Amino acid sequence: MSSTAPVGTFDEVFDSDGTPRAHAEQLVAELERLGAESLVAAGALRDAIFMRQGITFDLTSSDGAVADRPFPLDLVPRIIPAAEWRTIKRGLAQRIRALNQFVDDVYHEREIIRAGIVPWKLVASRSHFARAAHDIRPPRGVYTHVAGCDLVRDSDGVWRVLEDNVRTPSGISYMLENRLAMTRLIPSLFAHFRVRPIDQYPALLHAALRWVAPVADGDATIVVWTPGPANSAYFEHTFLARQMGVELVEASDLVVRDDVCYMRTTNGLARVNAIYRRLDDAYIDPLEFRPDSLLGVPGLIRAYRAGTVAIANAIGTGVADDKAVYCYVPEMIRFYLGEQPLLENVTTYLLDDPEQREAALARIDQLVFKPTGESGGSGVVIGPAADERRLEELATTVRRDPTQWIAQEVVRLSTVPTVSADGTLAPRHVDLRPFAVFGEEVRIVPGGLTRVALEPGSLIVNSSRGGGSKDTWVLDDEHDYDGDAALTASFSPPALPDLRLGSWTGQAQQQQQQHRPPP
């Protein structure tokens, strides 16, 4: 196996002279032992399993036909050493706490604005700034219950935050299914590593929702609210409801009476205490937001304002993951927490500023331009990859409404070896979306969803545009496993009677029960 990562790119498995990095040596050796043939066979089994279990996504081909494809999981895992993970984890927890405070602040005292750090004009002009959320403090003051920040590594290998997602970040189900699939497809890869488990995520989410649910006594009723089976992330909605053992509801199941939210059950109305919603602010209540929304529950915001129901994530969090606000996150961390940011931003230009705008437009073919209110990569223009006409259009659009655009330096995403169709390995660019849950405290599941561009040299990792994903392993070095063996040795399982074999004669039984000698 060899790696030929493009010059100027950081490869996470091989260093610049092509030798495996220390943490990946065993992985490289095991992949070599398996060989291309085994990887192709495991790939075929993976597709069969995913199709059978319905872990698929819709791929629209160039002729417009929509096909159901197995989710493209790459068979080479991505490894994150424990020390690196500690930095990421702390950096993200810090960032999410700051974002949570920011949301609280802009809908209440607006201290950060009065301190002159974030301009009010910018905040109020964000498309996801929700006037309806003004002066509402959700149960226990948590807004960003679920967060997924996208991380990248540039050519220097340093982890940076590319964007924040604190509305309804998706992908957690794929992360969990990827791990399950890897343990079934190529378990031998795990042999030399202690990989930290991730299957506690649904329990963490459930605990966080219980923590914020306003209940006087007894157990909280929690629901997952989906727009419906037509939604592209419906698989994830069902997955989370099933894993948490809670109801998956649609708008028609919910009803608000006297500022209290209920769901319709066979036993009449049942009180709902917390809603994990998977649809945007704009659709959740036709009385407050879009009046034409058929997906919404009339009166829900009234119940929310009355504090009888927790909604995760809270209303109006979109203001915090706006891409123009993103530029101010390091300042927020200093302002609210009095700490230095542990994770840096990618260099970003605010196009509202005339000086920055002209400088950025002069280098329009070298930068990435992003509309501020969008998510999931829509509307993004990558300067070096766009043709001249597209760039001219872009310049016109940006000049017309510069507050809705930002520009970023192109990040040469790091690479990880990835299986090609013939089973050989080649470096491909990756990013990482770790998932955080904010309840009593911020908890981050070790790893996250690694997305990988499957085309050589491509930086587009979105699965809707031909990207794949990788199982992400955070290694556990905090425990000495020899020490564990000693502990385990002190435990001996209780001796149970032998299993009976039940032969009619009783003679054969005794013969069969003779144990074979230890191997």
Partner 1 sequence: MLARIAHELFWLGRNVSRAELTARMIDGVFQADLQGRPDDPSGVTLSWDGVLAIMGSTATADSGRPSRAETVVLLSTDPANANSVVASLERARDGARAVRDVISADMWEAINSVHLGLADAAVGVTGYGGPYSFVSYVKSRTALFWGVASRTMLRDEAYAFLDAGGRFESADMVLRMLRVALPPGGESSTSPRDGQALALLGAVGGLQAFRRARVAAPSAAAVASFLLYTRSYPDSVAASIDAVRDALELADANPRASDPVLRLSRVLADLDFRGRVGGRDGTELVEVCEIVGNELTLADRDIAERYFGGVAAPSRAA
Interface with partner 1 (CB under 8 A): 34, 38, 42, 45, 179-180, 183-188, 190, 194-197, 199-200, 203, 207, 219, 242-245, 476, 478-479, 484-485, 487-489, 491, 493-506, 509, 512-513, 515-519
Nearest of 101, 45, 95 to residue 70 by alpha carbon: 45
Nearer to partner 1, 417 or 447 (CB): 447
Nearer to partner 1, 52 or 389 (CB): 52
Nearer to partner 1, 89 or 429 (CB): 89
Q: Could you tell me the smallest distance in angstroms from the CB atom of residue 42 to partner 1? A: 7
Q: Could you tell me the smallest distance in angstroms from the CB atom of residue 205 to partner 1? A: 12
Torsion of CA 351, 370, 279, 315, to 10 degrees: -20
Q: Could you tell me the smallest distance in angstroms from the CB atom of residue 507 to partner 1? A: 10
Beta bridge partners of 70: 56
Nearer to partner 1, 66 or 489 (CB): 489
Q: Could you tell me the smallest distance in angstroms from the CB atom of residue 313 to partner 1? A: 22
Nearer to partner 1, 274 or 364 (CB): 274
SS3 content of the chain, % helix, strand, coil (to 5): 35, 20, 40
Exposure string of 46-74, with b = 16+ CB inside 10 Å and e = fewer, is bbebbeeeebebeeeeeeeeeeeebbbbb
Write down the residue that tokens 């911020």 correspond to. 442
Q: Could you tell me the smallest distance in angstroms from the CB atom of residue 323 to partner 1? A: 35
Nearer to partner 1, 130 or 181 (CB): 181
Q: Could you tell me the smallest distance in angstroms from the CB atom of residue 488 to partner 1? A: 6
**Is residue 365 a contact partner of residue 391, using CB atoms and an 8 Å limit?**
yes
Residues 6+ apart with CB under 8 A from 63: none
Nearest of 317, 295, 418, 402 to residue 359 by alpha carbon: 402
Q: Could you tell me the smallest distance in angstroms from the CB atom of residue 349 to partner 1? A: 42
Structure token digits, residue 44:
């075929």
According to DSSP, residue 489 is labeled H
Q: Could you tell me the smallest distance in angstroms from the CB atom of residue 248 to partner 1? A: 12
Give the whole-angstrom CA distance, residue 338 versus residue 320. Answer: 19
Identify the three-state secondary structure at position 25. helix
Nearer to partner 1, 199 or 392 (CB): 199
CA distances from 327 to 117, 397, 434 (A): 11, 21, 20
Nearer to partner 1, 187 or 268 (CB): 187
